[in-house]
Amino acid sequence: MRFAGRAITTAERDWYRQHVAVILGDLHLFRQALAADGETPSMEAADRPLRLLALDGKVQLAGGAWSTVSLSQGQRKRLALIAGILENKSILILDEWAADQDPEFRRIFYTGILPLLEEQGKTIIAITHDDHYFISTSRIPSTRWRAAC
């Protein structure tokens, strides 16, 4: 297996893992937030993803920590995705990510957020049962999108 032009060997495994964010149903959120360089992200960097994922009125980033992680399951998944974005992960694996979202936000996720992440060069592996959104993936001009059910 190769990634970013490098063979993934035992010696490269830790390097490869730094490029992947996995969001599962039983996720754990850390209060501490990190940027791609391992440093503390600024509130300015977090502001757009917080607004895009409708958490700007619920969560703030101050002193490198989220103001709260006591959120609904759907909101927790959104905050986990924001963490992956701030860490600039190249590969996002989203296991039933939209399952805990309300119908309107689920639509926004499939038709707005996924294409935006794709435009930013992210590889997205989304495991979903939302078969009525499969057609929206055909509008993404990339071969990197895969939908599994």
Break the chain into its structural domains and give their ranges. 20-148
pLDDT (tens digit, 9 = 90+) per residue, 12-25?
888 888 888 888 88
pLDDT at 149: 28
Query: Residue 145 pLDDT more than 80?
Result: no
Q: Which amino acid does the sequence have at 66?
A: W
Which has the higher per-residue pLDDT, 80 or 132?
80
Instruction: Please give the CATH number for the structural domain made up of 20-148.
Output: 3.40.50.300
Percentage of the chain modeled with pLDDT above 70: 87
Asked if residues 100 and 107 have their Cβ atoms less than 8 Å apart, the reply is no
pTM value surpassing 0.75: yes
User: What's the mean pLDDT in 31-41?
Assistant: 88
Tokens of 144: 């990197």
Task: Please check the confidence at residue 94 and state whether its pLDDT lies above 60.
Answer: yes
